[in-house]
Structure 1
Amino acid sequence: MTQTDPPQISVIIPSFNRAWTLAHAIDSVLAQTVAPKEIIVVDDGSTDHTPEVLAAYGNRLRILNQPNQGVSSARNLGIGHSTGEFVALLDSDDQWKPEKLACQADFFKAHPEAMICQTEEIWIRNGVRVNSRKKHKKPSGLIFEPSLHLCLVSPSAVMIRKTLFERKGMFRQDFPVCEDYDFWLRVSMDTPIHLIDAALTVKFGGHADQLSRRHSQDRFRIEAILSLVRSGSLSDDQQKAAKSVLKEKCRIYGNGCARRGKQEEAQTYLALYHELEKGDVK
């Protein structure tokens, strides 16, 4: 991409029964100071009035439809059909500031070796702006080890060279939550994730249909780390850090299962904790 080339950006918006907020997300893309090459909305089997919302935009959108299969499947479908050099993901309940895409396009022009960058965020919960906690402060660069503890990358904040998906694979479709945590770990083990220190992504939370309210995130974070530990793809230092975090997550989640009366699940994760204590997990 030269200084005079328009950015070839594909925007991917997966949505399921989000007619009440989807138009706000789409409008924030249409308001960008740099127009994307395409806006792909993947309707993941919505049963509300999503089709009517989308129809109002005419040919300004590419609309893909599938039976309800989850956010990973919807994102992957959109990415697979995209034609831009870059992919920008936007969750259907989030929005962008008007200069978001332009700022990231400028970053890639200035850093042609970069594969992925993200912006800072504004958080709105139940209609009220909230300050992020210190532990959520986003680092920049090779962020694998801090990313083990919690997810430090937001799908709505990133722009990614499409070729990165060819190297790292897609979002795991067997994860109802934490599919992004899993993907960012696979990326960050050897690829810098750069931070643009400007709050250009607006994230909305607190609503009842958020997936994180319905599934245990720790269970899937454990699976993501365990897959990497067993893959043989980590460096010695990364393997040591991953096992340390995995052990702690197994202890916490296993004890939590025991308190909730899920004895079989508790035994599974506490047994894995003891294996890690003894160094038996390869």
Structure 2
Amino acid sequence: MPTISVIIPTYNREDFIGRALCSVFSQTHPCQEILVVDDGSTDRTKAVVDSLCEQSPVPIHYLYQENQGPAAARNLGITHAQSGLLAFLDSDDHWRKEKLATQLKAMEECPEFLISHTREQWLRMGVHLNQKKKHLPRHGEIFDHCLQLCVVGMSTVMIRKELFEKVGLFSADLPCCEDYELWLRVSARYPFLLIDQPLTIKEGGREDQVSFQYRVGMDKLRIKAISRLLEQTSLTSTQYEMALEERRRKSQVYGMGCVRHGRAEEGAMYLGLGS
């Protein structure tokens, strides 16, 4: 049976990292190892991790790097992981106890899939949120859905390590939307296996989260991600047209926003992309 490495990037998450780790400890199918990648925390994150090492049923490898962002942290975890299957968990999210077992079983039954994801339960400041239809994860060929918005939850995925050899690692130069950019590269070439159960609990709505800090510029980063994708020769003609149209749409929206907020020069550039 294949083994699983769990990769947890973290930055100043002393209040949440313990819950994330305990959700890994309680899995009905244990992983082989846990890699906590500390992206330059200045709080007690390491102390919390150290205090939980004796409770862990598997080795915890603590990796520290100067602050470089979540993409670089995940990449460091990937390069150190020993297992053929990688499961990612953001340090402010957590899993239901059957998550790894259910996902592993599905991937063993469908060996042709290189990546799988689960549904999520969304919480905002502890309150349950109902997901809109557009946010619900899908199965199979999901390139068109991935273009629209980030529809694959980072804490939901289990990936065969060989996939990164085929499509490359996370783009470490992106401060946000690095997951969106990777899912574009993956979904352009490979289908996604959906485990249609809410096995991942995702927390949101806090000002210290990267997605909150970059909420105004996320469209700009997604436009950048699509522009990179359009430079690839591996896209089919249909995929190319779909990506071009989505870049036009996002550029129009972002460009008009720039104009409304007094950034006319930047707005004109993006409106030109959208024409």
For Structure 1 versus Structure 2, the TM-score category normalised by the shorter chain is: over 0.9
Which residue is equivalent to 1:39? 34
Which residue is equivalent to 2:126? 127
SS at 2:15 equivalent: helix
Q: CA deviation at 1:101?
A: 0.3
Contact conserved, 2:7 with 2:89, CA < 8 A, in 1? yes
Number of residue-to-residue matches in the alignment? 269
Residue 129 of structure 1 aligns with an amino acid whose one-letter code is: H
> How much is the aligned-residue C-alpha RMSD, in angstroms?
1.0
Which residue is equivalent to 1:188? 187
Structure 1 stretches lacking a partner, 5+ long: 275-282
Which residue is equivalent to 1:51? 46
SS at 1:39 equivalent: strand
Which residue is equivalent to 2:254? 253
Which residue is equivalent to 1:12? 7
Structure 2 stretches lacking a partner, 5+ long: none
Residue 156 of structure 1 aligns with an amino acid whose one-letter code is: S
Q: CA deviation at 1:54?
A: 1.1
More off after superposition, 68-77 vs 264-273: 264-273
Is 1:273 paired with 2:274?
yes
Q: CA deviation at 1:80?
A: 0.6
More off after superposition, 213-222 vs 155-164: 213-222
Contact conserved, 2:18 with 2:52, CA < 8 A, in 1? no
Which residue is equivalent to 1:102? 101
Is 1:162 paired with 2:161?
yes
Matches within 5 A, 1:131-146: 131-146=130-145
Contact conserved, 2:11 with 2:39, CA < 8 A, in 1? yes
Q: CA deviation at 1:109?
A: 1.3
Q: CA deviation at 1:136?
A: 0.8
Q: CA deviation at 1:58?
A: 2.8
Q: CA deviation at 1:73?
A: 0.4
Q: CA deviation at 1:170?
A: 0.6
Which residue is equivalent to 1:228? 229
Which residue is equivalent to 2:79? 80
CA distance in 2, matches of 1:174, 1:266: 23
Q: CA deviation at 1:241?
A: 0.8
TM-score by length of 2: 0.96
The ranges of structure 1 where at least 4 consecutive aligned residues each deviate by more than 4 angstroms after the TM superposition are none
CA distance in 1, matches of 2:244, 2:177: 18
Residue 243 of structure 2 aligns with an amino acid whose one-letter code is: A
Residue 109 of structure 1 aligns with an amino acid whose one-letter code is: E
Deviations 1:245-266 (A, max 9, x none): 1101000001101111122321
Is 1:173 paired with 2:172?
yes
